[in-house]
Structure 1
């Protein structure tokens, strides 16, 4: 079943992408949730026209995303957590904490755009991926330190 995505779907594609999915996934999840529409001839033409008109806006959005990535650069963020004597974390370090650390540096990003490359389980250095745009992904380095 071919569908056109109305919004970004993690692991599947980005807005206005034409993707092939299994019929059950499309009928029972994507279409009822409003995340996609059927890829018939009319909808393909409508989306193509919308994409053409929005192309110059997309360049600006990509430029803004690249500016945020450049602003983050290679800096390393400090994220505090309760740490035991063995160096392991009590609880979890979340993307919300990482987003707040970025916000403290004057960079406002949505926590849903962050994902850990490796789940932080102990004090030390880690990396996370920040998906600012479908073509702009940035690696954020952070250090887990004790409170």
Structure 2
């Protein structure tokens, strides 16, 4: 049976794709959950309109993320921390700390958007990427200095 996907389905396709699946998979899973439509001419037109609307909304989100990214590229955050031997911090600088500092400067960024793989545990200057959008990832400077 041919169906038109409304959502991305792993190992099957992306929204708007026309795919051929078994009758049981379509009837029992895809169609009842609203994940796909049967591939009729009317549904193909409906999906084309929905896809155009989604692309326009995505373009607006990308543009707004790029505007915020330009402002974030200029941001520099400084943390004063107590330091032990060899420049190692007592504690660490985490994504939550960075999000709080950005909020104090007027930027609304959730901590899960901050792409810090592990907390910062030593002195120095770090470039930390922030995932505002799939295509937009500005980097901010994070300074960790001795208290």
Category of TM-score, reference length = shorter chain:
0.5 to 0.7
What residue number does 2:58 align with? 58
User: Deviation per CA, 1:23-42, whole angstroms, max 9, x where unpaired?
Assistant: xxxxxxxxxxxxxxx667x7
Written as runs of structure 1 = structure 2, the 5 A alignment for 1:44-123 is 44-45=36-37, 50-116=50-116, 119-123=119-123
1:43 aligns with 2:35: yes
Q: CA RMSD in A?
A: 3.1
- In structure 2, distance between residues paired with 1:117 and 1:141: 15
Q: Distance in 1 between matches of 2:66 and 2:92?
A: 30
**SS of the residue aligned with 1:60?**
helix
Contact 1:126/1:142 (CA < 8 Å) preserved in 2? yes
| In structure 1, distance between residues paired with 2:88 and 2:47 | 50
Is residue 19 of structure 1 aligned with residue 10 of structure 2? yes
CA separation in 1, counterparts of 2:117 and 2:83? 21
Query: Between Structure 1 and Structure 2, how many residues are aligned?
Result: 118
C-alpha contact (below 8 Å) 1:79/1:101 kept by paired residues = no
**Residue deviations 1:96-115 (CA, integer Å, cap 9, x gap):** 11111212221111111002
- 1:63 CA displacement: 1.2
**Following TM superposition, by how much is the alpha carbon of 1:71 offset from its aligned partner in structure 2, in angstroms?**
0.7
Q: Is the 8 A contact 2:94 2:119 kept in 1?
A: no
Higher Rg: 2
Q: Normalising by structure 1, what TM-score?
A: 0.64
Contact 1:81-1:146 at 8 Å conserved across structures: yes
Q: What's the TM-score, normalizing by structure 2?
A: 0.64
